[in-house]
Structure 1
Amino acid sequence: MAPRDEAEGDGALSAPEAASRALAHAGELISRNPVSVTSVEPTDDGWLVELEVLEDRRIPSSADMLALYELELGADGELLAYRRTKRYVRGRADSGSGVS
């Protein structure tokens, strides 16, 4: 891993910087509250960031509607594309095993 000074010198974003930029872009585009960053992956052209967003607050909170959004960022942190990939009830989140 390159020292921080070298990474800044070539204009490349770090993973935390890419996540922060994605949150800022989501705030501008999605009229909902991002809950968390669920993944940050480098790509050939920049970063792919996945955000969990609270789409509909319900009572009880275990019935809240959440969604996952993917944001593609360029190497400079500019937004290239975004899409909602999944919508689900908080209490019914995947176990991560691939089985619904």
Structure 2
Amino acid sequence: MTRKKKQELAELKRLFGEPVAYLASITDPATLDLSAALMDRVHDGADALLTMRGHLAEQHRYIGGLPFDVRLVLCMWLMDTDLAAKLIRAVYAKA
């Protein structure tokens, strides 16, 4: 694992908490009950976190208010941005 990847993982653990970050790292997206509504909430969450960049306490409060499934998928999305496109394609393929 590269130094940059380790730093990103450490930041995600601080932001989402160790349990969510760990689950996000081992969860197979195929096992999730994804929907267009869930992916919209995840996308909105990513946008919100970007607008709060540099304000860790505000980001932490925001994440704490999200339902668990949104937090998990959002963490997965941030761990692997390529995954975001795959998740969205999978959801709309089901529709």
Q: Normalising by structure 2, what TM-score?
A: 0.27
Larger Rg: 1
Q: Which has more helix, going by share of residues?
A: 2
Larger RCO, structures 1/2 (Cα 8 Å, 6+ apart):
2
Task: Name the structure with the higher strand share.
Answer: 1
